[in-house]
């Protein structure tokens, strides 16, 4: 019977797949805790891209020679691997983009400009990453839609009572982050979906933080749109995807125009290519698609369910320790489900100073507003430290973080 939890021996074996984890910073062993920004890459992903470039590098959809044929097969197969991974009905519902940010801009442009009017409303959460706020604010200024925000409670969870009040018959799209990149909070997506569907609004899920950790089936979620980035799930940078229901993609106009997204061009006009290529203008990131496909295979081999269970144990262990550290002010993690992602400050210490101190001991964390300034304003802070863990992180690394935070507090607050 398969274990539902990753053992420490398995974690140590997994860590051997990530060469960067052997690096030393300031003569200290690297402890990488900035996984919410980007994850490290296993050798299988690195080597898959290298082998592709050595053997099959050629532009796709543009030639009949063998290299182009092989590249095209690899690129299209990557769509199918992503579709199966997230439970999409067809690879034609998977559009490759540079990242989740581009996917969100695509939705705001191609769906928003075509189907929303000045009398319509878009409802978001205050937790959203800037990439799911700014495109809608620009659309507001352009066509006059109203943008409303669901706040969080003091415990860091979303205020679902307020959500019920804000979502009305004028709401045409509800856009929510599944897991906060600041608070670690995992939102109740099914409850939010039901609220959206009760007023016949489209439902958009930003899965950039959730997909690397949580099993996702978009058909079960019932979302109209889902976005994510490869680089946050042990894949390469420069590629992500938009999932959208096929009927929506058929109706939406292209976001970018040019080569490969067309069926025919004349001096009088143009017609569009079949899905998903209608939305993939120009030479795509086909090498990165190969790496993305390999990253998904790597995660599937470990199993996302086991990753999630391991991280839940890690999250509980870290949280219990942080609560005993009186000099730490941390945000969220008081109620509900959370990722092993923690935003906090050392009282009286600027987070940039604290991050620099941690770096001197080889510990990589993020400091800043985490591209979530509306949430920061809501929390009445400007910046915070963030330590975000993944399945290759260990209890020993957490212990090193704790002891170094104590040293930092002594150094700055002596």
Catalytic residue annotation:
371
Measured CA to CA, the distance from residue 365 to residue 389 in angstroms comes to: 10
**CA angle, corner 161, sides to 157 and 167, nearest 5?**
110
Containing 14, the helix (H) or strand (E) segment is: helix 8-15
Cβ 329 vs Cβ 76: under 8 Å = no
Phi-psi region of 137 (alpha: psi -120 to 50; beta: other; left: phi over 0): alpha
Cβ neighbour number for residue 251 with a 10 Å cutoff: 12
Q: What is the CA radius of gyration of the chain?
A: 22
What phi, psi does 134 have (nearest 5°)?
-60, -45
Classify residue 263 by burial, with Cβ atoms within 10 Å: 0-12, 13-18, 19+.
exposed
- Closest CA relative to residue 156, chosen from 131, 129, 187: 187
Containing 377, the helix (H) or strand (E) segment is: helix 373-379
Residue that the structure tokens 């320790």 belong to: 321
What phi, psi does 58 have (nearest 5°)?
-170, 155
Q: Which two tokens stand for residue 250?
A: 């058929």
Q: What is the 3-state secondary structure (H, E, C) of 288-309?
A: HHHHHHHHHHHHHHHCHHHHHH
What phi, psi does 32 have (nearest 5°)?
-95, 110
Q: Which two tokens stand for residue 383?
A: 């910046």
Cβ 227 vs Cβ 241: under 8 Å = yes
Largest pairwise CA distance in the chain: 74
Residue 2 DSSP SS3: coil
Cβ 78 vs Cβ 221: under 8 Å = no
Cβ neighbour number for residue 382 with a 10 Å cutoff: 12
What phi, psi does 253 have (nearest 5°)?
-75, 160
């Amino acid at each position: 019977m398969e274990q539902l939890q990753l053992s420490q021996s398995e974690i140590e074996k997994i860590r051997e797949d990530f060469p960067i984890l052997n690096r030393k910073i300031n003569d200290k062993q690297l402890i990488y805790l900035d996984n919410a920004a980007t994850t490290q890459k296993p050798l299988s992903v690195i080597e898959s891209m290298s082998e592709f470039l050595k053997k099959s590098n050629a532009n796709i959809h543009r030639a009949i020679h063998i290299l182009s044929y092989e590249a095209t097969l690899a690129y299209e197969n990557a769509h199918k691997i992503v579709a199966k991974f997230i439970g999409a009905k067809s690879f034609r519902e998977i559009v490759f983009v540079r990242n989740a940010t581009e996917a969100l801009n695509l939705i705001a442009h191609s769906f928003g400009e075509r189907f929303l009017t000045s009398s319509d409303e878009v409802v978001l959460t205050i937790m959203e990453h800037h990439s799911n706020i700014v495109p809608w604010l620009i659309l507001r200024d352009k066509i006059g839609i109203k943008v409303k925000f669901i706040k969080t409670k003091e415990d860091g969870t979303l205020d679902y009572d307020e959500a019920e009040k804000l979502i009305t018959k004028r709401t045409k799209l509800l856009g929510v982050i599944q897991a906060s990149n600041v608070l670690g909070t995992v939102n109740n997506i099914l409850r939010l979906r039901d609220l959206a569907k009760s007023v016949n609004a489209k439902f958009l899920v930003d899965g950039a933080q959730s997909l690397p950790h949580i099993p996702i089936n978009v058909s079960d979620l019932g979302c109209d749109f889902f976005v994510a980035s490869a680089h946050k799930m042990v894949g390469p940078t420069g590629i992500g995807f938009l999932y959208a229901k096929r009927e929506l993609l058929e109706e939406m106009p292209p976001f970018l125009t040019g080569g490969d997204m067309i069926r025919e061009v004349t001096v009088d006009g143009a017609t569009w290519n079949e899905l998903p290529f209608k939305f993939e203008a120009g030479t795509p990131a086909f090498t990165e698609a190969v790496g993305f496909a390999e990253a998904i295979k790597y995660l599937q081999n470990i199993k996302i369910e086991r990753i999630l269970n391991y991280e839940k144990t890690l999250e509980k262990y870290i949280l219990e320790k942080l609560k005993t550290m009186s000099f730490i002010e941390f945000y969220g993690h008081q109620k509900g489900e959370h990722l092993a992602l923690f935003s906090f400050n050392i009282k009286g210490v600027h987070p940039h100073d604290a991050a620099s101190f941690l770096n001197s001991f080889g510990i990589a964390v993020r400091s800043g507003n985490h591209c979530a300034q509306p949430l920061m304003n809501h929390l009445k802070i400007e910046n915070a430290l963030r330590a975000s863990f993944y399945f290759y992180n260990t209890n020993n690394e957490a212990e090193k973080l704790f002891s170094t935070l104590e040293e930092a507090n002594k150094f700055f607050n002596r």
